[in-house]
Amino acid sequence: MSTEAEERRFPLANLDSETQIWQPLTLLNLYRLLIGGLFTALFYSGYLLPPLASHDATLFYGVALIYFAAAILFIIPLSQRWPRFDIQAYFQIGTDILATILLMHASGSISSGVGTLLIVTVAGGSIVMGGRHPLMFAALATLAVLGEQFYAQRVGLGEPNTYTQAGILGLTLFITALAVQSFARRIRESEALARRRGLDLANMSQLTEHIIQRMQTGVLVIDEADQIRLMNESAWYMLGMPAASHYSQLAELSPALATQAQRWQQDPAADIEMIQPSPEHPRVMPRFARIGQESAGGTLIFLEDATAMARHAQQLQLATLGRLTASIAHEIRNPLGAISHAGQLLNESPQLDEQDRRLTGIIDDQSRRMNTIVENIMQLSRRDRSTPRLIDLHHFLPHFVREFATTEELHRELIGLNLDPGPLKVRFDPSQLEQILTNLCQNAVRYSEDYPGFPKVAIHAGLTGGSARPFIDILDYGPGIDPEIAAHIFEPFYTTASSGTGLGLYISRELAEANRAHLNYEPVTTGGSCFRITFQDPRRQMD
């Protein structure tokens, strides 16, 4: 990853790194403020202890005051971070060396002990700059000490044996520089390693968050007080796309899920039931797991779309059904064809009376019905995998109504169409949506035959009020469906009509589930029936 990319993705990490570079120089300036302020205060108070200022008090006071003022002035470029770091470091450390040498000279040269302050200066420069600079600072300070000693001897201040002290101080400065350089290098390596590990952890955190948000499985994390700490996009969809920012408690977001969570927390072996946020949303199967080893810790909740699980089961069911239909086609259709043909030949006999002809008609009708059942089962087992694409209902439904009226030889005014304004786009297989609508509209036309008004069938498309999901309602003006019968109308082979196969609504619901949609019966209080297709939010990508 490039440095520019790291700065864009991890600005806080780069800000911390920049702060770590300037912080030692800031601390070194605080030391400068302390020494300059201490010497100035001691001089003003008259409490200077010998040998401080013993040789030249005026020089000592002037240098201490200027040194303290310089430390104050250095605060401005340090806060502005201008000019650049290395220029400020060279200038400030050079100031420290010069001020220390002058204070040492004003206090009686090397024997005063003031020169030992250079150890702190060289050590600080080693930490601040690193590389070869520590040795340069040590060499510069040593030359300054020797130069001052030479000058002090020339003016009669020093003694010949003080060269040994100057040499020992210089050697100490070099040893300090080398030791601190090694120590500072290890610190920098540790900081660099920690920074890389921090970037790796930040990358891993972002990757984990991205994976969680893109998972098809819903993920919820709640703490010991049932407060929501994390909810990914899939969980948001499964729970009805609530305004999550308004909910902090799980019970406020989904009372049914909160009940299941409390039941599991009390007894992890308890049976977990499916929940359904609303009729237009799929049923959801929750799974629970503890976070950490403590019983009072948080809870991780996985939400599985029951539609997806049913779709996998359906694939197994269809594979078995496919093998069964192959046997049906061979074992039933051939004898059925023979029975139907024999009935037709018998019906052509001139010796049959009207009662016998009615019986041959029953044979013919029931043979055709059996053949239709076999064809529907074979169609269901051979059904191709859905290929959803984005459909604009404002264009699709008017075209469907025209085609349906033409195919069924109906007057156009028999079918009413009402489309809500605004975008109405769904993600669905067009051919399968047409098959569902055709089946529902055929049923609606058949059951609305006795209705005297127009239209006899109404199609309404819009968005649900709560979750803003697209829907299509197919309404008829027939006698309606008894609640006891409505509970079974989507079961295969269930029918109340003598000529029906009981597979139309079952196939329609299966096609809807294959496209992540839902087909439900909606009771109508004013009479008639309503079947609603509730589509998946088209903004969500299907797998």
Residues 6+ apart with CB under 8 A from 423: 392
Residues in the chain with pLDDT values less than 70 = 1-20, 130-132, 158-160, 241, 243-247, 279-280, 293-296, 307-319, 321-330, 373, 375-385, 466-467, 498-501, 538-543
DSSP-assigned letter for residue 415: E
Distance CA 124, CA 134 (A): 9
Indicate the class that CATH gives domain 309-381. Answer: mainly alpha
Which of 307, 304, 257 lies closest to 280, judged by CA?
307
Distance CA 126, CA 41 (A): 29
Question: What is the predicted pLDDT for the residue at 2?
Answer: 39
Which of 35, 139, 17, 141 lies closest to 85, judged by CA?
17
Distance CA 99, CA 32 (A): 10
Which of 375, 376, 378, 374 lies closest to 323, judged by CA?
378
Domain 389-534 bears CATH identifier 1.10.8.420? no
**480: region left, alpha or beta (phi > 0 left; psi from -120 to 50 alpha):** left
Q: Would you list the domain boundaries of the chain?
A: 3-205, 215-306, 309-381, 389-534
Q: Which strand (E) or helix (H) includes residue 156? A: none
Which of 53, 51, 34 lies closest to 43, judged by CA?
53
Geometric angle at alpha carbon 444, from 438 and 449, rounded to 5°: 130
Question: What is the predicted pLDDT for the residue at 5?
Answer: 39
Q: Is the pTM of this model over 0.85?
A: no
DSSP-assigned letter for residue 267: -
Distance CA 378, CA 10 (A): 58
Helix (H, G, I), strand (E, B) or coil at 248: coil
Distance CA 108, CA 48 (A): 14
Per the DSSP assignment, residues forming a β-bridge with 416 are 458
φ/ψ of 385, rounded to 5, equals -65, 135
Q: Alpha carbon 95 to chain centroid distance?
A: 54
Cis peptide, bond prior to residue 455, ω within 30 of zero: yes
φ/ψ of 192, rounded to 5, equals -65, -40
Distance CA 308, CA 192 (A): 47
215-306 CATH, one of 3.10.450.50, 3.40.190.10, 3.30.1280.10, 3.30.450.20: 3.30.450.20
478 in Cβ contact with 403 (< 8 Å): no
